[in-house]
Structure 1
């Protein structure tokens, strides 16, 4: 019975994989391990205009041998601010709720449901509460985190390469921004220096002008004094 059930699970999961390859789930990539088709790894891209935009979130689905008659365990591996990491998540599509499980649901259905619940704020076992800022910060950090995970890189080599290119562009943009800031600061310092020199030059010119005027006044004063003395002496003589 166990062997037959396992064969059923394998056949169903192969069928689901072919379906995903033909009709991908929006914002989600998923592949089974080559060594164990009962363990799948997924990568969720944060949708536009969501708190997770720009982030990629790695997780895994662990299917029971009785699949599709029993639901899988669902885990999130990448820090995300919505779910605990490496913890079984309590969702209506996970093994926490076998009573609500529908054997007609496929891997695509599970991943679509996971993304939908991730974008909500409903609490459940395995969920956490964090600020919007934290979620955005974790989204920005998720690429670097995933690239340190060998399992992620092995399962999603093309996506990993895209992440490397994205991080490289970010570093180049930051370097350009830093260079522009340095140029702006240096230009500001140069302008300040020029203004100081201009003020000093103007003060120096003003000082020379004042000195010249003082000398002229002294000369005029002496001339007036000499003329006055000469006039007084002339009157005395007369």
Structure 2
């Protein structure tokens, strides 16, 4: 028997209603999709709100609903490093399973995601949150794009955003390569330059490759340093 058939009718009907409501009236900055194989597990995507340290980032997480939903609250996780929450750790929020005593069965998935976003842009500490500077969050906003497209579930549930991220990365790489080429292209002012150009081109290509490798290494070092700091 599949997982879907084991889900109580009450939880299934309620989650389907919430999904239709979200499609009709989306939560600002948030997209959410249930797993096709299990309606009790939803994955959400927060697009960093304007005028916050998260601007430009995409933050992926999940909601795991109990079989007793809507009479019991879901567990909430953040998967993408955000500088705000620990990764893959249950978050202690008034709308999560950490506080079943404050849960209201009338709250929908939209209510949960709205509350999560509100808490994310605040600085209030709780179990599962971390303290970090705006500088760290801004750097993670950029890193979040590369992190997410390596996640198979993310790519399957959010194909439009995945394509957008890949296009953005390719565009930046293309612009960087073109800029490097333009800066290192020698001017041909006399026959001597024409004769020496093949050797110069080889040197320029080698320099460009070294520059790119250094950039990639520096980026990897930055990501690793930030993640160690958060841990």
The equivalent residue for 1:124 is 126
Q: What is the TM-score normalised by the length of structure 2?
A: 0.75
SS in 2 for 1:60: strand
Give the Å deviation of 1:170.
1.9
Q: Deviations over 1:81-113 (max 9, x none)?
A: 000000000011100011111111100010011
Residue segments in structure 1 that go unaligned for 5+ positions in a row: 188-238
Residue segments in structure 2 that go unaligned for 5+ positions in a row: 188-231
Cα RMSD between the aligned structures? 2.0
CA contact (8 A) 1:16 1:108 kept: yes
Give the Å deviation of 1:62.
0.2
Over 3 Å counting, the alpha-carbon distance change for 1:169 and 1:151 in structure 2 is same
Cα distance in structure 2, aligned partners of 1:39 and 1:4: 14
Give the Å deviation of 1:175.
2.7
CA contact (8 A) 1:75 1:87 kept: yes
The equivalent residue for 1:168 is 170
Give the Å deviation of 1:133.
1.1
1:139 and 2:114 matched: no
The equivalent residue for 2:208 is none
SS in 2 for 1:95: coil
Cα distance in structure 1, aligned partners of 2:175 and 2:103: 48
Give the Å deviation of 1:4.
10
* Count of residues in Structure 1 that have an aligned counterpart in Structure 2: 184
Give the Å deviation of 1:5.
8.0
SS in 2 for 1:20: helix
The equivalent residue for 2:207 is none
SS in 1 for 2:8: helix
Q: What is the TM-score normalised by the length of structure 1?
A: 0.73
The equivalent residue for 1:16 is 18
SS in 2 for 1:68: coil
Over 3 Å counting, the alpha-carbon distance change for 1:53 and 1:67 in structure 2 is same
1:77 and 2:72 matched: no
Q: Which has the larger radius of gyration?
A: 1
